[in-house]
Each structure stands twice: as structure tokens, then as C-alpha cells.
Amino acid sequence: MSEAGMEQKYVKEAFDTNWVVPLGPNVNGFEADLEQFVGQDKKVVALSSGTAAVHLALIACGVKPGDEVAVQSFTFCASSHPITYLGAVPVFVDSEKDTWNMDPDLLEEAIVDRKAKTGKYPKAIVPVALYGMPYNIKRIMEIGEKYDIPVIEDAAEGFGSRFNGQVLGTFGKYGVLSFNGNKMITTSGGGALICPDKEAANTIMWYATQAREAYPYYQHEAIGYNYRMSNVCAGIGRGQMTVVEEHLRHHKHVQKLYEELLAGVDGVTLIKAPSAEYDANYWLCTMCLDPELRVKGQENAYKKVITSAVGGAAGVIHAVDSTTTDCQPNDNVETLRLYLDAAQIETRPIVKPMHKQPVYKNNPAYVNGVSESMFKVGMCLPAGPYVSDDDVRYIVDCIKDAIQ
């Protein structure tokens, strides 16, 4: 049966059996499939989003208002926003150049300095597998253990990535997964939290179902959340799990093809794993453009205000009155994005570091310039399951044609 056929089978079962609710056989089955995939005797709780998983992991680690959490700056906002939901303070840590992920040396510097400044260590450490690249979890775990700080792995983009053969999300106290519509596998929306044991998983599940006590009526002694995954969405996930290895192989194949076709193109550098320890899923393939590179039409960069939804914003447009900010990709990156867009190729700038986001302008940040410099020159390339070899060749030909 095809991938779509398997998804439809499980979704149909949900409707046929009237399990159109945030629990049921598909949720249980999806969690079991995930537990088998990640291994290490971990328990998994399926949730409504990866953001919800970050939120509940922070709660489980005891993060409270006024606490600080050391979090990677080079990431999407879902890694840091849940910290602020709790009234806690994100302390941003910059990245290593080779992986783009949390720099362990800078992390330790931040931990020691926060203790000196506040009298307390951060309550948790949140590294992020940016674009599926593993973080140096060996060093990060050593630092967490040294200062007795739990590690919450944000592997939302790193589903199936491994470090030294072990699946990301299984090293730390908790591991975050995402099944958003653009991820390695999807449940249309959704996420999961990898937990250390059954007791921890039960606690997470309790928080995710409004923290209801065991009475025949609604009794609440703690604040809970409506974060459980739908049985219908879990049915899609069960179908996707039958092809997850195929998806992983495809993304790695696309990465290799980009590497071959872009080799020798002056001014273009494809980002790849620094060593065999880092088994990346290449959820998105990424490249950097030399700042001196010239792209056709570069004189027109940032001339027009964006008037359409960008980057999967589901049609939501929050109007702006300026074409630029004080920290943005270089003109050649924006020009190439527009050039490829005109050729029906969707690309994106890489994520803007959180310590450069206006909403976090007053937060503590320990920076080395890596994330900001990479943001100015980086681009994401298509890599999904429907990107064919011919598509990759067309994309690379367009890139070559755009460079003057």
C-alpha cells in the first residue's frame, strides 16, 4: 500500500470507529512506533505541536517565573517563546561555525557568568538541531552534568538525525520532536516529547490533558494545557512512519546531489556535517553565498515591501512599512531568492538569530558573531520528498545562471 493509502487507512479507521478526539488507537499506535524508532527505552507522548513539547519539557524541569534558561540563539522562535510563556528568561547562546548549533564553550561561559551575576545557574539548557544538523551533544551533556542542569534537546528539525549512531532527542532529559507540515514526517500539525521513563511520560500526559485529577468530576490542583494530539492527526503520523526511512534516504540523497552539482561554483558553499559523528537528516539543505558575489538584479534588492504571506504563514500578513531591518540577509541573498522565486523555486533565508529579534533585544546573550554572520549570507534550498533529481539540477542551473 502507498504512503497516502496507509495514511487514509488509519484516518478512515478513526472516523469509522468514532475516535475523532485527542486520544485513541492511532495516538497509542503512533507513540509506540515513535518509541521503537528512537529506542533507548524511552517513552514518547504525542502532542499538538513541537512548541507544546518545549513548553511541557520546561515545566517538567521545574522552570518557573524569574528563572533563566540557556537556549540556542540560532533557531526558530518556538525554541525560546515557551520560556517566556512561563515568565522565565531566555539566555541566548551563539553557535559553532561548523554545525551552526550551540557552542559548548560559550554555553559554559554563559552558565558561569549567569551564576556570578544572578546567584543561580540556568534552570535548563536547550540546544537545537538547526536544519537537522546534530549539535555537539557529547560536550553539552558533559556541561549539563557538571553544573547539574537538565538538557532539553530541541530536535524538532532533527527527526532521524543521529550523533555517534544515537537518535537525537534521546540524550537529554527530554527530547522535542515536531511533525509540522514541513517536517521530515508530518501529522499536518503536531509534535511529541521523548521522556526518560513511564512516570515522566504520565506526568507530561497529565499536563497535556488539562491536569485533571482522578475524580468523577473536574478537579484541578495544577494548571494544565490542551496539548494532546488528535487521533486523526496521529493516523497520518502512523502512515508516515511506514516511509520515514525512505524520507531520510531521500533528503540525504538530495544533499549529496547538491554537493556534487555545486562543487566548484565560486562563491557558493554548501553546509555539510563536519565529521562522521554528525549524521544529519538534511531536513533542509543550506548554502552560504560569498558577500562579494554578484547576482543579476542585485541593485533592486529590498526595493519592495513584502505584501504576501511568507514562509508558511497560512495567509496571515502583518503589514510592515519598511523594506529593511538593522539585521538582514545581504543583498545578494535577497536577490537570488527573488531570482529563484521568478523561476518557480521557493527558497528562504536562514533563521534570524533570536538575540537579534526586537522582542528579545534586552535579553542576556553570549555571542561570538557566528549566527549573525551566517544569517547574512545563508539560504535554504528545497529538499522535500517531492524534490526530484531533475528538480535539483534545475535549481542548480538557475543558481549558476543568476550569478554574474
Report the distance separating Cα 104 and Cα 112, nearest Å.
Answer: 12
Summarised one tens digit per residue, pLDDT across range 330-381 is 999 999 999 999 999 999 999 999 999 999 999 999 999 999 999 999 999 9
pLDDT for 12: 77
Mean pLDDT for the stretch of residues 129-144: 98
Burial of 374 by CB count in 10 Å (0-12 exposed, 13-18 middle, 19+ buried)?
A: buried
Q: Integer distance in angstroms from the first to the last C-alpha of the chain?
A: 48
pLDDT band at 320 (very low <50, low <70, confident <90, very high): confident
CATH 3.40.640.10 residue ranges in the chain? 3-243
pLDDT, tens only, 243-302: 999 999 999 999 999 999 999 899 999 999 999 999 999 999 999 999 999 999 998 888
Q: Given pLDDT bands bounded at 50, 70 and 90, which one contains residue 118?
A: very high
Model-level pTM? 0.94
Percentage of residues of the chain with pLDDT beyond 90: 85
Distance CA 117, CA 228 (A): 39
Closest to 339 (Cα-Cα) out of 385, 300, 305: 300
CATH class of the domain at 3-243: alpha beta
In the prediction, which pLDDT does 304 show?
A: 78
Average pLDDT, the chain: 93
- Range 215-235 average pLDDT: 95
Q: Is the pLDDT of residue 22 over 80?
A: no
Q: Do 377 and 291 contact (CB within 8 A), yes or no?
A: yes
Q: What is the pLDDT of residue 314?
A: 58
Topology of domain 245-402, CATH: Aspartate Aminotransferase, domain 1 (3.90.1150)
Helices 331-342 and 389-402: angle between axes, nearest 10 degrees: 130
State residue 229 phi and psi, 5-degree precision. -75, 145
Say how far apart CA 209 and CA 80 lie, in whole Å.
23
Q: What is the pLDDT of residue 311?
A: 60
What is the pairing mode between strands 285-289 and 378-381? antiparallel
CB 336 within 8 A of CB 402: yes
Distance CA 393, CA 378 (A): 20
pLDDT at residue 321 is higher than 80: no
Burial 160-190 (b: 16+ CB within 10 A, else e): bbbbeeebbbbbbbbbbbbbbeebbbbbebb
From 97, 179, 164, select the one nearest 134 (Cα to Cα).
164
In order of 47, 115, 347, the CA distances from 22 in angstroms are: 9, 42, 35
Residue 343 in 3-state DSSP?
Answer: coil
For residue 98, what pLDDT is reported?
95
Query: C-alpha grid cell for residue 164?
Result: 555517534
DSSP β-bridge partners for residue 192: 46, 177
Q: How many CB atoms lie within 10 A of CB 286?
A: 25
Q: How far apart are CA 26 and CA 19, in angstroms?
A: 9
Task: For residue 136, name the pLDDT band (cuts at 50, 70, 90).
Answer: very high
pLDDT in tens, 286-315: 999 999 999 999 988 888 777 665 665 556
In this predicted structure, what is the pLDDT of residue 308? 63
Confidence class for position 5, pLDDT limits 50, 70, 90? confident
**Which part of the chain has CATH 3.90.1150.10?**
245-402
**Strand order, beta sheet including 152-154:** 43-47, 191-195, 174-178, 152-154
Rounded to an integer, the average pLDDT of 372-396 is 97
> Using alpha carbons only, how large is the chain's radius of gyration in Å?
21
